[in-house]
Chains A and B, each alone.
Chain A
Amino acid sequence: GAVVSQHPSRVICKSGTSVKIECRSLDFQATTMFWYRQFPKQSLMLMATSNEGSKATYEQGVEKDKFLINHASLTLSTLTVTSAHPEDSSFYICSILLAGGPTDTQYFGPGTRLTVL
Chain B
Amino acid sequence: AQSVTQLDSHVSVSEGTPVLLRCNYSSSYSPSLFWYVQHPNKGLQLLLKYTSAATLVKGINGFEAEFKKSETSFHLTKPSAHMSDAAEYFCVPNAGGTSYGKLTFGQGTILTVHP
A59 to chain B minimum Cβ distance, whole angstroms, is 9
How far, in angstroms, from A60 to B49 measured CA to CA in the complex? 28
Q: Restricting to A78-104, which residues have a CB under 8 Å from any CB of B?
A: 91, 93, 95, 97, 99, 102-104
Contact of B44 among A49, A97, A108 (CB under 8 A): A108
Contact status A46-B102, CB under 8 Å: yes
Q: How many B residues have CB within 8 A of the partner chain?
A: 24
Task: Look across to chain B and name the residue whose beta carbon is closest to the beta carbon of A113.
Answer: B41
How far, in angstroms, from A99 to B101 measured CA to CA in the complex? 8
Task: Look across to chain A and name the residue whose beta carbon is closest to the beta carbon of B108.
Answer: A43
Chain B residues closer than 8 Å to A102, beta-carbon distance = 32, 51-53
Contact residues of A: prevailing secondary structure: strand
Chain B residues closer than 8 Å to A99, beta-carbon distance = 101
A44 proximal to B (CB < 8 A):
yes
A105 proximal to B (CB < 8 A):
yes
How far, in angstroms, from A108 to B49 measured CA to CA in the complex? 15
Contact status B94-A104, CB under 8 Å: yes
Residues 24-54 of chain B: 1 if any A CB is under 8 Å from the residue's CB, otherwise 0?
0000000010101000011111100101110
B106 proximal to A (CB < 8 A):
yes
Chain B CB within 10 Å, residue with most, of A4, A44, A97, A102: A44
How far, in angstroms, from A83 to B51 measured CA to CA in the complex? 42
How far, in angstroms, from A113 to B40 measured CA to CA in the complex? 12
Chain B residues closer than 8 Å to A104, beta-carbon distance = 32, 94, 100-101
Chain A residues closer than 8 Å to B103, beta-carbon distance = 34, 44, 46, 95, 106
A65 to chain B minimum Cβ distance, whole angstroms, is 22
> Taking beta carbons and an 8 Å cutoff, which residues of A are in contact with B?
1, 4, 6, 32, 34, 36, 43-46, 49, 91, 93, 95, 97, 99, 102-111, 113
A-B contacts, 6 of them at CB < 8 A, read A34-B102, A43-B107, A102-B52, A103-B49, A105-B49, A110-B43
